[in-house]
Amino acid sequence: MKAKRIFAVIIAAVLVALSCVSAFAADSYFSLNGFSFEINSQGEAVIREYDKSNSSVVIPEKLLGAKVTEIADYAFFGDAEMTSISFEKARWLKKIGSNAFYGCSGLTALCIGYSVTELGFGAFQSCGGLESVTLSSSLNEIPSQCFYNCDKLNGVIIGENVTKIGEYAFGNCSALDDIFIPAGVTVIPQNAFSGCGDLNISCYAASAAHEFATENNIPYTLVDDYPLGDADGDKCVTINDATYIQMYDVGMWDFERKFLFLFSDINNDGEVDIRDATFIQMRLAGMI
């Protein structure tokens, strides 16, 4: 009899354990503020889908207390109602998956957060309304077809840690006329800019981008002689540059060439604002 009781207790314990595992598996998927997401084995939130409840989407820092570290493949696929996406709060976000924003035609501007280290194949493919892109300085690669068929895209800044541009990464971006490629990029396939008829590449002398532009008869601008803080592109830093930065900060002016944004981001925080203008003013006044 005692053996039977012990056996019954063991069976009950096993059933309780199995029910807990089953409950955990079911409860690892959640919905909150329009986001459908899972909590992975590391306790991190992975966004799987969005319910299109808001046209202005802000990727949060956390969901149910879990750090948002990934946007999964196809998470926002075909969301034509989205008009803006902000990664400013998503300071733990590391990965944006393949085709995650495919066909999000309402997006006009994109600034990928500085924590992001990986983009998937075709992540922003066929975003027909996208006009300007600033890529995270933490990225190592722009994958194949990342911005393929973004036919209104006209300005791109590639982060300084990128080393490779994938096949057709900017293919059929017919309006693309201004892209800054840093010296660290060493791999640029022949078809990376296929269909970009009016392209001008801003790059450093003797870089792979300079060589690529020369070999493919693409117009280029060498940025070696532009000093830090040169907002207006006249190759010197004056009070005018501080004024232009202030005007940019309130939406009254934009940079003639996209690389000048980088040169104006003096404190390297990913933004060009009053703090950068103040730095120039203090430097010109001999205060720093």
* 153-204 pLDDT tens trace: 998 989 889 999 999 999 999 999 999 999 999 999 999 999 998 999 999 9
The DSSP code sequence of 166-178 is -TTTTTT-TT--E
- 26 burial (CB, 10 Å; 0-12 / 13-18 / 19+) is exposed
* 194-231 pLDDT tens trace: 999 899 999 999 999 999 999 999 999 999 999 999 99
29-32 and 35-39 beta bridge pairing: antiparallel
Residue 156, amino acid: V
Exposure string for 61-78, b = 16+ CB within 10 A, e = fewer = eebeebbbbbbbbbbbee
